[in-house]
Chains A and B, each alone.
Chain A
């Protein structure tokens, strides 16, 4: 039993003397609450949702202990129920077990040690059942999340598949080459969306289950990796891409983190920065500033693209949330980013203005 927190026990008896005696005997062992009538007892139960054990006398003028427990078990199912009585009629014992669903039957006059043992056992039983019901609630929530997940996945996978299949028929019968090219371009976009979606789901699961794999991070290598990775995007989209790296901890301790998770974050932020550009802007740019200082790396990914509309700012990190139809997206990217940042004990901040651009700042401590 937890020594710091006494178990709450509610004792019910119509004889005032018994209440006083019970309190005197157990006030050092338990947190004792008492009531002299079933109605008072109900009131106590309503005001204390953490009562673990109820001990009630069988013979009371208003109703029997069994009748009282019958009511209690539907209104307050959690506490463990015990019955005391001076009479040993077998009928009331059977009723108590069948109707009142009692845990223990205690004969009067009670023996202090018996009560202590009974309450300790009740405590174990109570803890196990409340743990079980907590697990059950968690399971139910997980199931509901899975349900929502399955619903969205079905839609987001099925939608583009159906459309692309239909478009294939269309493109086969289309004689105009320009229209054919247009349909093919849209088909490619749909397939790209599918690919992104599946990739993001795999990231999601990797984040959800994966333990952290910590290794020293070579920032120079990281810079080179991203210069390479986005060089095509940069050239094709005519977007200037610049990475700045500054390390004030050079010569100090190495920076340790989970590289895969960091890359999930940076990939998503950079993909978005390149994706949400304004076509009409002649001077498009994406910038990544990496600053390592005092065992922390602060990475800013900024662009001068479309920005995020103000109404969407509160929701951008939510699963499946999308703020635009202009570009295909899974509604998963920033959700994964947020998840990965928290797995790395980091923080993320965003500043954005529509038609001006966005800056995402992540701060990650070394592990």
Chain B
């Protein structure tokens, strides 16, 4: 658990701050990396090498400019399986659109869907589900 890295991808600065603080309170020993530009977040994941990487939990927003959450997932899908095996993606949004929500939930790379406002409880529940990572 200690070695898990959290990656936040959200264009809203206030949401990044809120979620980052929750993560730091819940998991003070883990590192958190926040990206307000989804293309940079994606680049970070693409550069990971399976051999020397810690497990990652990615919290991904849906609505973002330039590259939205679904576009992000399409590109993410092409990352090497050995790398993806060490990454768990959680999707989050304030969307009330059912099509968005089911599209997120049905994506094979998405482990859980969190609706905004995100609570500490929701984060810890979701992380518990995906947290049994080596």
Contact = CB atoms under 8 A, between A and B. Distances in A.
Interface of B: 11-15, 17-18, 21, 36-37, 63-66, 94-97, 116-117
B18 A166 contact: yes
A318 B102 CA distance: 27
A321 B67 CA distance: 11
Given A159-B63, A322-B66, A331-B65, A167 B14 contact: yes
Interface in A150-185: 151, 154-155, 158-160, 162-167, 170, 182-183
Nearest to A186: B14
Contacts of B21: 170
A190 interface: yes
B96 A325 contact: no
Contacts of B65: 321-325, 331
A296 interface: no
Contact of A323 (B13, B17, B18, B66): B66
Given A158-B96, A166-B117, A325 B11 contact: yes
B95 A155 contact: yes
Nearest to B37: A325
A277 B99 CA distance: 38
Contacts of A326: 36
Interface residues of A, number: 27
A299 interface: no
Contacts of B14: 160, 163-164, 167, 183, 186-187, 189-190
B18 A324 contact: no
Contact of A163 (B12, B36, B64, B96): B12
A190 B94 CA distance: 14
B112 to A, nearest CB: 19
Most buried by A among B11, B17, B116: B17
Contacts of A166: 18, 117
Contacts of A189: 13-14
A186 B66 contact: no
B60 to A, nearest CB: 14
Contacts of A182: 17
A190 B95 contact: no
A189 B117 CA distance: 18
Given A322-B66, A323-B65, A158 B18 contact: no
A164 B36 CA distance: 17
Given A322-B66, A324-B66, A325-B36, A162 B13 contact: no
A308 to B, nearest CB: 12
A163 B97 CA distance: 18
B12 A151 contact: no
A181 B37 CA distance: 24
15 contacts: A154-B96, A159-B12, A160-B12, A162-B94, A163-B18, A167-B14, A170-B18, A183-B17, A186-B13, A187-B14, A190-B14, A323-B66, A324-B66, A325-B37, A326-B36
